[in-house]
Structure 1
Amino acid sequence: MLFQLFRTIRLGFQTIQLHRLRSLLTILGIVFGVASVIVMLAVGEGARAEAMSMINELGTKNVIVTSVKSNSVGRDGNSGGAIRYGLTDRDLRRIAALLPRGATFCQTREHRRTIHHLSHQVEGRVIGVTPAFAELTHLRLAHGRFINSLDETGGHAVAVLSAGVAAQLFPLSSAIGETIRIGNDKYFYVVGVLDSKMDVSNDSGERYDENVFIPYASDRMRFGDNTVIDPGGLQLPEKVEISQLTVSLPSTDQVQPVAQLMRSILMQAGREKEVSFLIPLDLQARAEQTQRVFHLVLAAIASISLLVGGIGIMNIMLATVTERTREIGIRRALGARRSDIIFQFLIETLVLTGMGGVLGVLLGFGGARLVESIGGVATIIHLWSPLLAVAISFAVGLLFGLYPARRAARMDPIEALRHE
């Protein structure tokens, strides 16, 4: 049986070599169908990996609450009529008291200021953070260190610069150990610089390249309560005690209950319209659902391409059966069974589609690399995608080659021998 299989495959290759151009045109549909499957799967997997990387950077065990200004915010009579909104220290104490064992959190406060060093200055964003911020947001340092617990408890005037701010203020020297001035008269000692890869952050594309991180306690002590200062009087001052609160939980099972608990606490305080929730675990679930839909769309498109290729295969095999009618009659007259005829034509069809699958895989690899280099889109090709594509090409050959093979096998030997 192995010898017969080898001989039939060799006969299939010989038949293809007799009509090289026709065979090539026949398998083009399979080639492009398989290549499109690989390229689209590679682009889809690349997009999925990037989305999951961003979500994982946010932390699937985190709940992030951000203060937002709504139309119903009020003014604080004790702060010169400043607009007051968002999370408060009281909200933080209530939430912290109800968090499960093992949970950690960090609060931040941010405001825009002018940062100076000698003749250089940049409009940046000053963010007061606690030491846990670096771990919860996966910050990476290029030089120096991040803010530690001694800086926070002692209210030290230290700062960590983003790579973008450091490059603008210290274009020719290292920022570590230098002093910067924030605003008019607040001086801070630079102890760290972030990695340049952190200039695009993990939270929905918000940029880190203009950030200056200082201890949360130092921020409250040196800059007071108002987070927006407009010397020209064009904008009312804003008072935000906590700009963002990030809660990290021991397990993902606790994310939704704790998020609901936090919503209830803020709703009781009447601040449900002054905050927005970001739950990376929900983002992950939505991203996976979107990916499933995307794969279904890709499968539909690829199926159409392969269907067209399969119809081309069936058409050419029917023409081949007609051309080789006399050969079929001679083989039947010499004792070949119907199963032998079916086997012969099926093998020839599978050889055609197999060659198309292999060429499609090679074209798909090249197309994926071309998309990545020209379009700047990340592509990922898993081992299973070319194997799946080749398997589908063989399945197309088997499906669309069965009817021509059966038609050849059902020919009457006598009528076939009379065929001119």
Structure 2
Amino acid sequence: MFFNTIRAVRLALKSLLLHKLRSGLTMLGIVFGVFSVIAMLAIGEGASAQAQAQVRQLGATNIIVVSVKPPADSSSNSSRSSGRGPSVLAYGLLRADYRLLSETIPTITSTIAIREIQSEVRYLQNTINARVVATTTGYKDMNHLEMAEGRFLTDQDEREMANVAVIGSEVAARLFPYESPVGKTILMRSFRFTVVGVTRSRTASAAIGGSMSGQEFNKDVYIPLKTFQTRIGDRVITALSGSFSAEEVQLNQITLQVAETQDVVRTADVVRESLMRNHRGKNDYDVIVPLELLKQAEQIKQIFNIVLGSIAAISLVVGGIGIMNIMLATVTERTREIGIRRALGARQSDIISQFLTETIVLSGTGGLLGVGLGLCTPLAFMGIQWIVENAVLSGSSGTSEISQLFGNMRPQIAFWSLPIAFGISVGIGVIFGIYPARSAARMDPIEALRHE
């Protein structure tokens, strides 16, 4: 049996090599079909892994409460005007919310409050528009920040309301291109802050959900929360096109940490109920639970893989149709050969086996080549990224956002897809090869011998 199989494969290869170009072109449909299945699943896995990593960075045991600016026409907006200045839009989380959540919910083990604004930061003649983040010492561990130089904020800085700052790597590079920032004084909103540390460069986080924007940590300036409240205050006035607008926000974000994962969802429900009573129906905050987002991301990953795999499988079906077309033409060309074989005693099963073997060899070889190409997906994707970053998008608007999103993607080969894609290619060959093989086997031997 083994030797018969080897002989059938050798005969199939000999027949296919008689028409190298035709066999090669037919095989291309299977090659690119298998490659597209592996490549699309790899890209889907990479995108899903990136999204899940962003969610995990927020912490599976964390609950994040963020301030949300109400719509301009919302009746729940709270505006105040003194008659001598711009009206003030007051919204968002309150320090009372922070105290309420940290003191009344027993499952919460730690809390971190954040207030942030955009501000120009200056050192001598150098300036940069940075994100000023007022927070406490726990912010460093929560966002996995590492120090390149100096130290981060301490509890003593918070107690003393010290004018100290920790700056991101890009802020340091722009303001202090030729010297160490530690110990130097920067100017921000007419206040002087002494730089005590510089954070290492780290990848920006993508936007998560509808209420959280992406964060560029390298352009951050960190100061103690109480320092911000006493020096800068809650009210921020912005000048735009000759007019002034003012907003009053006490806290932009409160991050709550729960001891056990199983308590996260239950605690989040308690947080929502507590804030609902405090804010009296105003939709100026949102509660984000990374654990729920992680579960959603895993479900989306499964759906994504099914959709991408199905789309790619269509190209395999097209390749199978090409195989059927070529095999039908081959049967017509080899009608006399079939008649001679039947006259010499070959059975119908022998004819079916002969043509099915040729089809399987054709689709199997294409499948192996497709798997080889699929394994090169990460390298091919890196080449596309290089083209996007250095050629296609050079000088266009929105370059940084697109190149950052595209540049952070890393395809991950789903190794379970390799045998599946190869098996499907062989199966496609068998399915689409049965009809031509049966057509060849059912030929009348005498009519076949008369064929010219």
Normalising by structure 1, report the TM-score: 0.88
Counterpart of 1:249 in structure 2 is 258
Q: Does the 8 Å contact 2:107/2:267 carry over to 1?
A: no
Look up the match of 2:325. 315
Aligned: 1:401 with 2:430: no
Aligned equivalent of 1:171, options 171, 174, 177: 177
Displacement, 1:145? 2.4
Q: Distance in 2 between matches of 1:28 and 1:201?
A: 38
Residue 114, structure 1, aligned to residue 120, structure 2: yes
Aligned-residue offset at 1:304: 2.3
Give runs of aligned pairs for residues 92-241 of structure 1, distance below 5 A: 92-101=98-107, 103-184=109-190, 186-198=191-203, 204-228=213-237, 234-235=243-244, 237-241=246-250
Whether contact under 8 Å (2:88, 2:246) holds in the other structure is yes
Take 1:340 and 1:178, find their aligned partners in 2: how far apart are those partners? 88
Aligned to 2:393: none
Secondary structure at 1:105 match in 2:
strand
Q: Flag the 1:76–1:256 CA change in 2: closer, same or farther, 3 A.
A: farther
Which one is further off, 206-215 or 407-416? 407-416
Instruction: For residue 216 of structure 1, report the CA deviation from its aligned partner.
Output: 1.6
Structure 2 counterpart of 1:245, one-letter code: I
Matched, 1:303 2:313: yes
Which residue identity lines up with residue 369 of structure 2 in the other structure?
L
Question: What is aligned with 2:382?
Answer: 372
Matched, 1:384 2:413: no
Residues 231-278 of structure 1: CA deviation (Å, up to 9, x unaligned): x99535433222211112234433332222222111111264121233
Residue by residue, what CA displacement relative to the aligned partner does 1:167-225 show, whole Å, maximum 9, x if unpaired? 221111121232223222x3322222122224556653233343210122222233344
1:19 matched to which residue of 2?
19
Identity of aligned residues (%): 45
Q: CA deviation at 1:104?
A: 2.2
SS at match of 2:214: coil
Structure 2 Cα separation of the partners of residues 158 and 323 of structure 1: 86
TM-aligned CA deviation for residue 14 of structure 1: 0.6
CA distance in 2, matches of 1:233, 1:410: 88
Q: Would you say the 8 A contact 1:346–1:401 is kept in 2?
A: yes
Residue 96 of structure 2 aligns with which residue?
90
Aligned length: 417
Structure 1 unaligned spans of 5+ = none
Q: 1:40 to 1:243 in 2, by over 3 A?
A: same
Bigger mean CA deviation after superposition, 67-76 or 125-134: 67-76
1:27-70 deviation digits (Å, cap 9, x = unpaired) = 22212222222222222222222222222222233222112333
Contact 2:91 2:284 survives alignment (8 Å):
yes
Distance 1:405 1:32 in 2: 25
Amino acid at match of 1:66: V
Q: Deviations over 1:122-173 (max 9, x none)?
A: 3333221111112222223332322233333343332110122212211111
Secondary structure class of the residue paired with 2:336: helix
In the alignment, structure 2 segments of 5+ residues that lack a partner are 389-405
Q: TM-score normalised to the size of structure 2?
A: 0.83
Task: Flag the 1:237–1:323 CA change in 2: closer, same or farther, 3 A.
Answer: closer
Residue 264, structure 1, aligned to residue 270, structure 2 = no
- 1:29 correspondence with 2:39: no
2:355 match: secondary structure: helix
Letter paired with 1:129: T
- CA distance in 2 between counterparts of 1:237 and 1:263 reads 28
1:298–1:250: structure 2 CA closer, same or farther, 3 Å change rule?
same
Give the conservation status (yes or no) of the 8 Å contact 1:13–1:351.
yes
1:45 aligns to what?
A: 45
